[in-house]
Amino acid sequence: MSEQTDVDRDAGSTRVTVLRPHRHLFMRGIIAVLALTTPVFAVIYWLTIPGPAWPYVLIAHLVVIGATVVGVASFLNTTISISADGVRERGFFGRTVHVAPGEAGAVILVQMYEGSTLDVLPQLFVASSQGRLLIRMRGQFWSLADMERVAEELDVPVTRPDEPMTLNQLRRTWPRLLYWFERLHLRP
């Protein structure tokens, strides 16, 4: 079941489907920011209002509010658009990646173990024919149905390992699909 809001719009004769991350993440983030900052700033205001330091607390509070607004805007602008021109991802930090038809060399849909648990979440990796990671969709943020839509649009055979994989197994099998910090294997 997809929690994303799909928006189809016609731009001339081109149909565009816009996929969005799970909406419940937005509410969790807002609640977490409020739960962490409200009591802290209430106490700091209470301690500083009689003295001359309260304007500094107000400035710090405004900075936190500004950072929250930027985070909200970034989340709301995170999308994956599917059209006849290919797949376009606009990431959380504003980076835009466009995968044109025929550009994807491999699509890999893996069930990954989450940390040290038996819980698994899907991850979709779209790589170029040279093996460079183009788009990564994590199950924490995107639904499996949305991953299937992207894989279907790219018209490349999808590799689906039979068994769920750990990060170590993925690191050994497809190391170039991971972020640089995930490639590091730190032994205890």
* % of the chain at pLDDT higher than 90: 37
Residues 69 and 135 in one domain: no
In this predicted model, what pLDDT tens digit does every residue of 87-116 receive, in sequence order? 999 988 888 999 988 888 899 999 998 877
pLDDT band at 11 (very low <50, low <70, confident <90, very high): very low
What are the residues facing 138 on neighbouring strands?
123
Residue 76 sits at the vertex; the CA angle it makes with 10 and 142, to the nearest 5 degrees, is 85
Residues 105 and 72 in one domain: no
Residue 40, in any domain of the structure: yes
In this predicted model, what pLDDT tens digit does every residue of 137-165 receive, in sequence order? 998 899 999 999 999 888 889 999 999 99
Global confidence as pTM: 0.75
Residue 178, in any domain of the structure: yes
Tell me which residue range forms the domain holding 35.
24-77
Residue 87, in any domain of the structure: no
Residue 167, in any domain of the structure: yes
Radius of gyration of the chain (CA): 21
Residue 176, in any domain of the structure: yes
Residue 9, in any domain of the structure: no
Residues 176 and 119 in one domain: yes
Residue 111, in any domain of the structure: yes
In this predicted model, what pLDDT tens digit does every residue of 28-44 receive, in sequence order? 888 888 899 999 999 99
Q: Which residues, 6+ apart, have CB-to-CB distance to 59 below 8 Å?
A: none
Domain total for the chain?
A: 2
Tell me the pLDDT of the chain averaged across its residues.
85
Please name the amino acid found at residue 187. R
